[in-house]
Structure 1
Amino acid sequence: MNTDRLDAVIVGAGFGGMGAAIQLNRLGYDDIVILDREDDLGGTWHVNRYPGLTVDVPSTTYSYWFEPNPYWSRLYAPGAELKQYADHVAEKYGLRRYMRFNTTVDGARWDEDSQTWLVSLSGGETLRTRFLILATGYLCQPKTPDIPGIEDFGGTVLHAQEWDDAYSLEGKKAAIIGTGSTGVQLIPKLAEDVDELTVYQRTPIWVMPKFDVAFGPAAQRLFARFPVTQRLLRMSSDLFMDLMVTIAMWKFRQFRPVNSAAARIGALHRFLAIRDKGLRRKLTPNYDFGCKRPTLSNTYYRTFTKPHVHLETAGIERIEPDGIVGRDGTKRVIDTLVLATGFDVWESNLPAIPVIGREGRDLGKWWRENRFQAYEGMTVPLFPNMLTQASPYAWVGMSWFDTVEYQMRHMNRLLGELQRRGAETFEVTEEANARFLDRMLTLLDDSVFHLGDCVNSRSYWFNSSGEAPLFRPTSIRQAVKEQDRFPLSDYAIA
């Protein structure tokens, strides 16, 4: 065991973990370790490299407010530029010196005697730290579908999150399982290369038109020389995204017509791309807009009108060594299987590692037995000096950066109070946590999750109990303001 006490251990070297490290530095903490199981930083933007990868939130909004990037090539930047942005942030703020890659965390346990966290690594090492910050993200545990015969497939299997750039799709007969956000980006690219493509769809997704523009050299020079111009653009994209999410999802009771209008835009987008009524019907969601993460594309629907692209919606009976057999008996012979089946958010990711707090409380077990909950989406009773970013009621807006930055404000106020008092520990009280949970549940009563028709959405936003505790059902503006106003008495500080 390393007997030296660190200031903080951060689990995860994505944008969340980097934001937490930047905030700790601002507060004067420098003895920090950032652990990541991958071989480089960037989180999902390092792991994901599949063809067609882009952001589905305007790049002006999908970035740190305090670190604007004037060099985005487009309003919706390709994934490689997000990885470059992550590298830039790490370099500018000196974060690589804290990072340890290819390091798997087995678990963490609060040690009452020393008032520290003991973080166990897979190699046998144990780190002792004052603060523990879980920054593993919501989408970090890829999910393989439980389909009979999938292990016996004799061709090539490509996982969207483990893409093999060396593998050529040219001339292949391919199938893809999954039509979520990843599938919507990937399917048009696959169709450009393969001889035949079969898309297996379980649940249609709401696909909206993508109003994308390129930022040429002149625009980039303007943004770099006069940052206020990009700030104004960001304010516009921030306001639009926040307003749409708040009105269409959280204020569904009061603004149901706005939600319906969004659905009509999606329907018109589908109609203009596909004239075949039968095909269009198969691609039409049978749940309300907002129940499942929508996405943007101007090419997805048109791809299905190509003669070598086939849509299967009957479901999969089994996978054989040379193809896929549908529940309707149809068999498609393929040589390449692409899996775009998303992530396991609930069973193995909340939390992503075993965490044991005071009195032996197991965080994962406690969440599953007592509802998913976290005060301000960050702290949990009986888990002193622990902050968790991808947690219940944390995700605000549609840009992960909005969540990270409101949490940085919370860290600033909470840890600043610790320093002011010369205290060693903080722990949210049971009463404050219960009050916050009750408020979130009350706000959700007005949401599309409770009042809309979400039965057929099969959305990862819902857990096995039918609850939707990932999102903080408020506007971004409200979430940010509350970090400057939450009662410090909500914490036991000692």
Structure 2
Amino acid sequence: MPDQAKEDALKGYREILPPNVSLGEATEAYKEVDDVAYAISRLPLGAPRALKVICVGAGFSGLAFAREVELGNLPNVSLTVYEKNASVGGTWYENRYPGCDIPIHNYQSYYAPAKDIHTYIEAVADQHNLRKHVKVSHKIIGARWIEERQKWQVNIVATDGRELMVSNRVNKDGEAGEPFTEECDVLINAGGCFNDWKWPTIPRRETFKGQMIHSAAWPKNVELKGKTVALIGNGSTGVQILPNILDDVEKVYVYIRSKTWVTASFAQKFAGPNGANIFFTEGQKRHWAENPDEYLQYRKEVESELNSRFLLYLKDSNAQREALGYSTSQMTEKLSSKPEIGEKLIPEFAVGCRRTTPGNGYLEALCSPKVEIIWGGIDSFNETGLLAANGEQRDVDTVICATGFNMSFSPRFPIIGCKGVSLQEKWDDNPECYLSVTAADMPNFFIYLGPGSPLGHGSVVSSLERVTEYIAQFVRKLQTENYSSVVPKPHIPRAYQRQALAWLDKTAWSSNCASTYKNGKPDGPLISLHPGSRLHYFELLKHPRWEDFDWTSLCEEEDLIFAWLGNGFIVEECKEKSEVDLTWFLPPVEAAKMIKATF
């Protein structure tokens, strides 16, 4: 263990040590052997040394970790969350397009619009006192692991305060002032995978003179009333946008290159007629607020319904066959006024190969006289509009690009780990990741929604909460068991990815379609998805497999590996007045099960 790392650790231990050594308090055998072991010997078992954590991004993930710290679940952790945008919210600060297709039960309606989701996140930050941990308008531009310090050096630059900062490797717009460096013991990348958005790769895009909008950077005050609009893309976002702008626009040209399933609503039996949205009344919301047990039961029923649908993602299952038949029937019925649309839109690939999209009102919108579908590719942009591959020109006022994100998972800023290994270079080739949270050669580094997360099944928020609990267990172990660093064993992410890809081959996601899950390629590897249901994922996160990791002790001698057992007492025993039950080992016993005396 390098001397500098030991000195840093001793400083942390001294902050929680009493100033003077009491008689019999320390293990004197360690006094001349190892300074760290001697310091720990004065502490009760479980006393946490100080750690500094830096988190990238203040969306759902970053705020979930901040709440873990704020609740006191990680005592003696100093946290800074750096957020490149002007406020918290992450994806839902940036994605303001009209529409939502996942039932989320914390809002004003069954399918919440982006504005309600962002308002909720802001309320979470305020009500849980999380903003004190967050520095907005600061962008992480690099990180390097310093082996001799057992710390990360993180490079940060302030922005000019603009509302939205683009997240990719090349764009430096909005960066202001001189970069500065901070050190931390633990680095968490909570930057997410839904904010490195992609413009369409169509020639001469810059020549268009009208308004151009990307769905992932939707302006606050978009005026589409009476406009002629081109909508590029029929993935989940484009499907949500069309019915939500139809009433305002004069005309919409919808450019469709790929077939897609427009499916039944998620947990449809809880939605409105035919899967329509439900707007909760003030009476309903008040009743739930006054009866939290009923509200919890409602939430559980919705989540249970979402969980029960995972079987359809197995491409040879009865559930998949039923979904195929039902979806075909529903789409055909909703497109009955224009059956020629169904002939070109209904796919041959499995339901779920592309992200399943309820698309409330989308098929009906395609049949509207306001809508004209342009099938196939786009040749180029020009000053007044778009030239389709079939030679047809359409002049428009506004172009909406619902063209998705870069889902390569390779980080947007350089991250250099052990022995100079670049995570960017490594993951550009193949993003091997263990449980979507840790990576080889990257000590004390954790990721939210990395490669292999359950993006394809239900809302990700519950997954983020489970990842938070998982990461917290590692941080606590580093704090209380005298370790300076932890990293997956070199073969673990590779072996885990092999298992994942082998399992995913039998799923609907592996069908022949261009999807977000394959970063837009029909034959791309399914590196983005977890090999199982989200309940399967949650179970794996409950109890970390410590044997899959290499741990570096702050004591050099192997025989001092148990120095963290400390002074022979636990923390609560050393308090004048404990607030926990120190007789927890005596469980309550029902009267009927009590052993009756026989003497």
Question: Structure 1-normalised TM-score?
Answer: 0.90
Deviates more, 1:303-312 or 1:426-435: 426-435
After superposition, the CA RMSD in angstroms is 2.1
Residues 85-484 of structure 1 mapped to structure 2, 5 A cutoff: 85-122=120-157, 123-210=178-265, 211=275, 212-245=277-310, 247-249=311-313, 251-253=314-316, 255=317, 257-275=318-336, 276-346=338-408, 349-369=409-429, 371-395=430-454, 397-450=457-510, 454-455=511-512, 457-463=513-519, 466-484=524-542
Deviation at 1:421, TM superposition (A): 0.9
Q: Supply the distance in 1 between the matched residues of 2:217 and 2:64 (Cα, whole angstroms).
A: 25
Deviation at 1:6, TM superposition (A): 6.6
Q: Supply the distance in 2 between the matched residues of 1:152 and 1:164 (Cα, whole angstroms).
A: 21
Deviation at 1:20, TM superposition (A): 2.0
How many aligned residue pairs are there? 469
Query: What amino acid is the match of 1:44?
Result: T
Q: Does 1:27 align with 2:74?
A: yes
| C-alpha contact 2:501 2:526 (8 A) present in aligned 1 | no
Q: Supply the distance in 1 between the matched residues of 2:541 and 2:237 (Cα, whole angstroms).
A: 33
Bigger Cα Rg: 2
Q: Supply the distance in 1 between the matched residues of 2:52 and 2:541 (Cα, whole angstroms).
A: 23
Shift of the 484–197 alpha-carbon distance from structure 1 to 2, 3 Å rule, reads closer
Q: Supply the distance in 2 between the matched residues of 1:294 and 1:480 (Cα, whole angstroms).
A: 22
Structure 1, unmatched stretches of 5+, are: 61-68
Deviation at 1:103, TM superposition (A): 1.5
Query: What amino acid is the match of 2:321?
Result: S
| C-alpha contact 1:413 1:484 (8 A) present in aligned 2 | no
Deviation at 1:30, TM superposition (A): 4.0
Q: Supply the distance in 2 between the matched residues of 1:168 and 1:437 (Cα, whole angstroms).
A: 46
Deviation at 1:277, TM superposition (A): 1.9
1:53: which partner in 2?
Answer: 99
Query: What amino acid is the match of 1:258?
Result: A
Structure 2, unmatched stretches of 5+, are: 1-7, 12-49, 158-177, 266-274, 553-599
Deviation at 1:208, TM superposition (A): 2.0
Query: What amino acid is the match of 2:452?
Result: Y
Q: Supply the distance in 2 between the matched residues of 1:208 and 1:169 (Cα, whole angstroms).
A: 28
Q: Secondary structure at the match of 2:501?
A: helix
1:63: which partner in 2?
Answer: none
| C-alpha contact 2:259 2:346 (8 A) present in aligned 1 | yes
Q: Supply the distance in 2 between the matched residues of 1:287 and 1:252 (Cα, whole angstroms).
A: 10
Deviation at 1:439, TM superposition (A): 2.7
1:147-174 Cα deviation digits (max 9, x unpaired)? 1121101212122222234442222221
Query: What amino acid is the match of 2:492?
Result: A
2:55: which partner in 1?
Answer: 10
Query: What amino acid is the match of 1:261?
Result: E
Deviation at 1:479, TM superposition (A): 1.9
Question: Structure 2-normalised TM-score?
Answer: 0.75
Deviation at 1:88, TM superposition (A): 1.8
Q: Secondary structure at the match of 2:188?
A: strand
Deviation at 1:93, TM superposition (A): 2.2
1:42: which partner in 2?
Answer: 89
Shift of the 477–158 alpha-carbon distance from structure 1 to 2, 3 Å rule, reads closer
Query: What amino acid is the match of 1:339?
Result: C
2:574: which partner in 1?
Answer: none
Shift of the 352–248 alpha-carbon distance from structure 1 to 2, 3 Å rule, reads farther
